[in-house]
Amino acid sequence: MELDNQTEEKVMEHSDRHADISDAKVHPWRKCGTGKHLVREHMVHVPVSKIHPEGINAVWHEHCADNPSRKDELSYAEIKYISEAHFANLTGLSPTAGVLTKKFPDADKYDNEIRGWVQYWNDIFQLDDPLNPNVVKALIATESSFRPQPKEHHYVYGLMQVTGQTHQYLCGEKKELRDHLVRISTDELLDPSSNICAGVRWLFRKKETASWLLKRTATWEETVEDYKAILSQRMTGQKYNPKPMEDFREYYTLLSGG
């Protein structure tokens, strides 16, 4: 069914309301400007009215919408856009390939996503000690063995085993992050690129919390300890399972050529 002029104008007004894309972007790979997130083209249902008693379906075109949080946000649409547009031909530091595949057949399957999101978040945070992609690769090995969703784990999601509570923090549903949210659903969190994007973002947050616990700048190994909820247990003398960190150090050493 075709739209009447009045309905078409309303649909286009909604679709284009935030279409202006600011030149000011938090990262050059972003499609939308600061304070906006990407909404991909999708079908919508126009409610029943006198003109259209049965309602109609219409297309809302791709556009940049204002972030309700007033913070920087990555939407699932923009995560997919960045992954597809930029990751295949990246140069620079990449996770080491061909080292862990004997133990983990899919160990090299997500190298583009690891390299891409590590580079993205390094560019965002500009730390003196940037994150090495091999840290993330070794972490994924210990979290999920490179399986997108281990069946034996519940209430944690994807390659980096992001917890349900962490997902709420990343989305801004619970106060934790000052900026740079990753606002995606739990279903979208199972997508490998989305999961690595979210997990690496959370790793940068754990760098902050580990540094606060230690009263000094935490190393990335100590950051991984905090990601695994081990650091505070170790510091306070509580009993904890040392195996996850032993495995992490083993895999990271192998990936680093040791």
Which residues constitute the domain of residue 52?
5-66
pLDDT at 49: 67
Question: In degrees rounded to 5, what are phi and psi of residue 65?
Answer: -110, 150
- Do residue 26 and residue 77 come from a single domain? no
pLDDT at 34: 81
- Do residue 92 and residue 62 come from a single domain? no
- Do residue 198 and residue 154 come from a single domain? yes
Lowest-confidence pick of 4-18, 39-53, 178-192: 4-18
Lowest-confidence pick of 35-39, 190-194, 207-211, 229-233: 35-39
- Do residue 42 and residue 145 come from a single domain? no
Q: Is residue 202's pLDDT more than 90?
A: yes
- Do residue 80 and residue 144 come from a single domain? yes
Average pLDDT for 73-96: 95
- Do residue 127 and residue 209 come from a single domain? yes
Please report, for the domain that includes residue 109, its CATH number: 1.10.530
- Do residue 163 and residue 118 come from a single domain? yes
- Do residue 101 and residue 209 come from a single domain? yes
* CA distance readout (Å), 171 to 181, 197, 202, 223, 249: 6, 13, 11, 21, 30
Residue 85 contacts residue 79 (beta carbons within 8 Å): no
Domain boundary among 13, 47, 66: 66
State the angle between helix axes of 76-86 and 111-125 in degrees (0 to 180), rounded to the nearest 10: 110
**Long-range Cβ contact pairs of 97-104 (< 8 A, separation 24 or more):** 99/254, 99/255, 100/137, 100/141, 100/251, 100/254, 100/255, 103/141, 104/141, 104/145, 104/146
Domain boundary among 17, 41, 66: 66
Q: Is residue 129's pLDDT more than 90?
A: yes
Of the two residues 197 and 152, the one the predictor is more confident about is: 197
- pLDDT band for position 6 (50/70/90)? very low
- Do residue 103 and residue 212 come from a single domain? yes
- pLDDT band for position 58 (50/70/90)? low
- Do residue 117 and residue 25 come from a single domain? no
Task: Select from 97, 103, 164 the least CA-distant residue to 137.
Answer: 97
Q: How many structural domains is the chain composed of?
A: 2
Q: Is residue 42's pLDDT more than 50?
A: no
- Do residue 196 and residue 91 come from a single domain? yes
Q: Is residue 24's pLDDT more than 60?
A: yes
Domain boundary among 66, 87, 107: 66
* CA distance readout (Å), 174 to 81, 171, 212, 243: 26, 8, 20, 31
Q: What is the distance between the alpha carbons of residues 156 and 161, in angstroms, rounded to a whole number?
A: 5
Reduce the DSSP state of residue 32 to 3 states and report it.
coil
- Do residue 129 and residue 180 come from a single domain? yes
Lowest-confidence pick of 45-54, 60-69, 134-143, 171-180: 45-54
Average pLDDT for 119-124: 98
pLDDT at 8: 42
Q: Is residue 12's pLDDT more than 60?
A: no
